[in-house]
Structure 1
Amino acid sequence: MVVLVVVKLRAEMVMDCSTGLERFQVKFFYLCQLAYWLHVLPELYFQKVRKEETPRQLLYISFYLLHIGAAYLLNLTRLGLVLLFLQYLSELGFHIARLFYFTDESHNKLFKVWAVGFVLTRLFTLTLSVLVVGFGLARMENQWLDLETGNFNTLLFRMTVLLVVCLTQAWLLWRFIHFQLRRWREYRQEQAVRKRVTVKQQPKPVKRDAGHHENGVIKAENGASPRPKKVKAP
């Protein structure tokens, strides 16, 4: 009996230690993410980013800080880990496509693969957020606000999280579609200009007669006169 109690206590201690270690690792990961995106802000000044690029970079950094901070404070760490993994995987594909394009401009097919992956990432993010926050948390019993235990599972917080996620993903998709349409229009204009230049550079064909005139008589190319036609006698 004593042995069973000792084994049970050791098992509970191991579980508590593993749970505590897991919590520490998750917290450390989120703190590193927040520290990274905060340190990017002063880098905009030291890297001398152009003024027209600064608002876009600030908005990009703000989105990361908002979503990572909200997932950490609202105890949505597991959902945030999955969504961050998908987002970073999509960005990794984009940078790989850029590297291949910089080495050789003919390697642009990877951008098409990244475009498909980007759209799928946005759709999967929306679907997973709705399933976890909208349906999963709504079926749990603890439907109250408790700041001491970190329970924010209320209807207001769930709707706010879903609204922020949906608006962000919709904005990203709209920017992506707008960018692709602009690139397509520029490509069509470049193709039209190239066709015009090619048509202008092509030499016009010169019409040549079968012979030339000399003293009122048509001479062939080899200098011989063509055979006269026989006129039938009346």
Structure 2
Amino acid sequence: MAHRLPVVTLSLTFPEPWAWNAQTMYPDFHNFLVFLANSETVHYHYGPKDLVTILFYIFITIILHAVVQEYILDKISKRLHLSKVKHSKFNESGQLVVFHLSSVVWCLYVVVTEGYLTNLRSLWEDYPHVYLSFQVKFFYLCQLAYWLHSLPELYFQKVRKEEIPRQLQYISLYLLHIAGAYLLNLSRLGLILLLLQYSTEFLFHMARLFYFADENNERLFNAWAAVFGVTRLFILTLAVLAIGFGLARVENQAFDPEKGNFNTLPCRLGMLLLVCVAQAWLMWRFIHSQLRHWREYWKEQNAKRRVPAAPRLPARPIKREPGYHENGVVKAENGTSPRTKKLKSP
């Protein structure tokens, strides 16, 4: 049983999301309420008002970014006395460590409370998942707001021109995947994949922070290298399982954007191609960086081996006076001290 009811309390602090009416299936700007036995559950759907919400949280994120930078990262970097290049990378990793840690905890809480981890079939069953709970919708809006706020932060943080293309690449990848999962009604699968990805990224940026504090500390990099490959394998496996096999067995295979159904063969192939290309590109960059690191390491080792040892000068023979030494005094062979020669007066 569904009713269209305006929500006044939420509109004061949180822009009211766009929902769909269950009876007429046309878009309206009210919440969709599902009445259960003894309680009611409010579900949401995406719409144009999400843009206003995202814009609002972009400003909130910029403020939080400045607070973390001023009260935490700047104080730590002053003690480390880093160069300009390392200082920029330290700020980048410090911000991402805070974001990834909070996102991992939040995402883990959402997938556990929603029951997605215990029931993997829920990732593709009852597709399309057009109705989202408040915490799922709020999580996606905050994720989009964070990665969109990273674009003006490139100017505020005075990032070097050489670093801008690299940062634009991974910002675009995150925006493309998060927005794709949100708009194509694959929010459940997107939560699991983000949990895996953010866990790996958190370990990488934590390893960078420890490296800047002590350049001899590279153990976390080794742990991250092992986790990185396993994460790529899990992401590809879940994507193929949910999109390639799960959605292919769903009865509703019609393309109907008005109802949020994109479960057709071309759409599924496009989704899988996007995920596979992104993971292959990340794996290629990882292998390339590891090979470059190993080459530099072996060059340093070979250079150390090729450096010849400094030649030792032959020891000069010490001319001893006849007799032997005793307590720093030269004794003659018969036990008496030798007579010192008298200097002739001029």
Structure-1-length-normalised TM-score: 0.78
Per-residue Cα deviation, 1:153-201 (whole angstroms, up to 9, x for no partner)? 111110000000000000000000000000100111111112223x243
- Report matched runs for 1:85-234 at 5 Å: 85-197=195-307, 199-201=308-310, 203-204=311-312, 206=314
Does the residue aligned with 1:148 lie in a helix, a strand or coil?
helix
Tell me, in whole angstroms, the C-alpha distance in 2 between the residues paired with 1:56 and 1:190.
Answer: 27
Residue 105 of structure 1 and its aligned partner are, at CA, apart by: 2.2
Tell me, in whole angstroms, the C-alpha distance in 1 between the residues paired with 2:209 and 2:157.
Answer: 21
Bigger mean CA deviation after superposition, 47-56 or 164-173: 47-56
> Which is bigger in relative contact order (C-alpha 8 A, separation at least 6)?
2
Q: 1:39 aligns with which of 124, 130, 149?
A: 149
Tell me, in whole angstroms, the C-alpha distance in 1 between the residues paired with 2:275 and 2:36.
Answer: 40
Residue 228 (structure 1) aligns with:
none
Residue 10 of structure 1 and its aligned partner are, at CA, apart by: 6.8
Do the aligned partners of residues 126 and 205 (structure 1) sit closer, same or farther apart at CA in structure 2, a change above 3 Å counting? farther
Q: Which structure has more helix as a fraction of its residues?
A: 1
- Of the two, which has the highest radius of gyration? 1
Establish whether residue 76 from structure 1 lines up as the match of residue 186 from structure 2.
Answer: yes
Tell me, in whole angstroms, the C-alpha distance in 2 between the residues paired with 1:57 and 1:13.
Answer: 49
Establish whether residue 17 from structure 1 lines up as the match of residue 41 from structure 2.
Answer: yes
Residue 322 (structure 2) aligns with:
none
Does the residue aligned with 1:17 lie in a helix, a strand or coil?
strand
Percent of aligned pairs sharing the same letter: 63
Residue 104 of structure 1 and its aligned partner are, at CA, apart by: 2.2
Structure 2 letter corresponding to 1:118: F
Number of matched pairs: 198
Residue 63 (structure 1) aligns with:
173
Tell me, in whole angstroms, the C-alpha distance in 2 between the residues paired with 1:32 and 1:12.
Answer: 32
Stretches of structure 2 that go unaligned for 5 or more consecutive residues are: 1-33, 45-130, 318-346
Bigger mean CA deviation after superposition, 142-151 or 160-169: 142-151
CA contact (8 A) 2:140 2:178 kept: yes
Residue 22 of structure 1 and its aligned partner are, at CA, apart by: 5.4
Per-residue Cα deviation, 1:128-175 (whole angstroms, up to 9, x for no partner)? 000000000000000011122211111111000000000000000000
Tell me, in whole angstroms, the C-alpha distance in 1 between the residues paired with 2:35 and 2:268.
Answer: 38
Tell me, in whole angstroms, the C-alpha distance in 2 between the residues paired with 1:10 and 1:112.
Answer: 51
Do the aligned partners of residues 194 and 93 (structure 1) sit closer, same or farther apart at CA in structure 2, a change above 3 Å counting? same
Tell me, in whole angstroms, the C-alpha distance in 1 between the residues paired with 2:163 and 2:35.
Answer: 57
Stretches of structure 1 that go unaligned for 5 or more consecutive residues are: 1-8, 210-234
Alignment root-mean-square deviation, CA: 2.2
Tell me, in whole angstroms, the C-alpha distance in 2 between the residues paired with 1:120 and 1:149.
Answer: 36
Structure-2-length-normalised TM-score: 0.54
Residue 74 of structure 1 and its aligned partner are, at CA, apart by: 0.4
